Amino acid sequence: MHAFTHEVRATRGATPALVQAIEPFPGLRIYRQPSELQQPSDRYVWRLGHHSGYPIAAFEYPGDAGDAAWAISELADWTRPAEEIRAGLNGETVRDALERTPGIFLTAAPA
Indicate the domain borders of the chain: 4-105
Q: What is the model's pLDDT at position 55?
A: 93
Q: For the residues 82-109, what does the mean pLDDT come to? A: 89
What's the pTM value of the predicted model, to 2 decimals?
0.90
| CA distances, 17 to each of 10, 33, 40 (Å) | 8, 9, 18
Order of all β-strands in the sheet with 46-50: 4-8, 17-25, 28-32, 46-50, 55-59, 104-105
- Reduced to 3 states, what is the DSSP secondary structure of residue 4? strand
Q: How much of the chain, in percent, has pLDDT values that exceed 70?
A: 94
CA distance linking residue 90 with residue 97, whole number of Å = 11
Phi then psi dihedrals of residue 71, to 5 deg: -65, -30
95: helix, coil or strand? helix
Task: Give residue 4's pLDDT.
Answer: 87
Report the pLDDT averaged over residues 15-43.
92
CA angle at residue 8 from 6 to 14, to 5 degrees?
140
- pLDDT digit string, tens, across residues 49-66: 999 999 999 999 999 999
pLDDT at 2: 80
